A and B are shown apart, each in its own frame.
Chain A
């Protein structure tokens, strides 16, 4: 059995680890609540952009636009959103693995990659993927300008024909304990996404100025930017949620270990006392 002093030292170290994990849990709880609130406030913008696109697509039947047209897929662009920091349970790994699963179906040379977060960058660099652009230090507090920059980037690649498809891989935030990595197709825009919901809303004839095509041309990048912006917040909330859960179980584990060690410590103490008594008694016996 380990000596009392050794056990005491271990208890102390586990205890301080537990304090750290507990603090981290509290911090991520606060950060998660903030990200959730921010996510809520991005919703109205997104909803209206989506509604406008659907009304254009539906009111002008047979509208055609490069952003809407499916073309032969040679190169595919993936945008993978993870975080800069670890200690968030399986958060980074799950989202990167999902992206990898899709990417492995294709030729490595036909894949373009944009990563958000240091962990995603490291993950794909290790596996020998070429990264077009890696964004770091934006995942925790997303800004619209970041989303717009990514959007401008992919729009350029897409209209120059350098990529034929764009997918977004991120973690969608279902609840505090439930986050799910997801793949979403950004380009070409799938018009069926917009078709069904407009069935209910009957609209008066809308005039588009200068023309439906140019309004669409303007709005689709906005739509993409707002999808990316929303996804960034979902990813941020998921990251904090995952970290919260991970830190919670780490704290619980630390407590369990401390309980266990305390038990061992007490046993060691008792054994030492018993031994001492035995020594005293046997010493006294010997003197008789």
Chain B
């Protein structure tokens, strides 16, 4: 099994983010983290906001995945995300500003704000900041 690889495709609305053979993928679904090895049973699942870990031999790559879903076939994994970024693509200051903004909005809890949207914004910012740590 060790030599077997699976094709991982990550597609966002505006680009093909990733398209290579990989050994293992770990990502976050709405029901918790999930690791996929080559030869997985066909499965379609919804993704939450989180970090995807892509293992290729000794190397491990990380990227953010903002929402979307994954379609898993034994020989390939297709992930459609609203947005995806490598660590070096993240604008740290912007993410921090977004985090502050979302926190303020949640703290106020006024009637007119969309709590779900603010929470999602906060989550996005946190995930981006977390990924910044892995920047080389």
Interface of A is mostly: helix
Q: Is the CB of A209 within 8 A of B44?
A: yes
Residues of B contacting A222 in the complex (Cβ-Cβ under 8 angstroms):
68-69, 80
Q: Mark B39-83, 1 if CB is under 8 A from A, else 0.
A: 001111110000000000000000000001101010000101011
CB-contacts of B3-51 with A (<8 A): 11-16, 29-31, 41-46
Q: Is the CB of A218 within 8 A of B69?
A: yes
Interface residues on A, range: 20 to 34
Which one, A42, A206, A214, contacts B43 given CB within 8 A? A206
Q: Is the CB of B46 within 8 A of A226?
A: no
A-B CB contacts (within 8 Å), total count: 67
Residues of B contacting A91 in the complex (Cβ-Cβ under 8 angstroms):
none
Cα–Cα distance between A214 and B46 once the two chains are bound (Å): 9
Q: Is the CB of B14 within 8 A of A215?
A: no
Interface of B is mostly: strand
A155 at the interface (CB under 8 A from B): no
A56 and chain B: residue at smallest CB distance: B44
Cα–Cα distance between A209 and B30 once the two chains are bound (Å): 9
Number of chain B residues close to chain A: CB under 8 A: 23
Interface centre among B16, B46, B78 (most CB of A within 10 A): B46
Cα–Cα distance between A205 and B41 once the two chains are bound (Å): 9
Q: Is the CB of A207 within 8 A of B44?
A: yes
Which one, A38, A44, A206, contacts B44 given CB within 8 A? A206
Cα–Cα distance between A210 and B45 once the two chains are bound (Å): 7
Q: Is the CB of A144 within 8 A of B44?
A: no
Q: Identify 7 new A-B residue pairs, CB closer than 8 A, beyond the known A204-B73, A209-B43.
A: A38-B14, A144-B13, A206-B44, A207-B43, A207-B44, A210-B30, A218-B69
Could you jot down 28 A-B contacts, CB within 8 Å? A38-B14, A41-B14, A44-B16, A45-B11, A45-B13, A45-B80, A48-B80, A49-B80, A144-B13, A144-B83, A147-B13, A203-B42, A204-B42, A205-B42, A206-B42, A206-B71, A207-B43, A208-B43, A208-B45, A209-B46, A210-B30, A210-B31, A215-B69, A218-B46, A218-B69, A222-B69, A222-B80, A229-B13
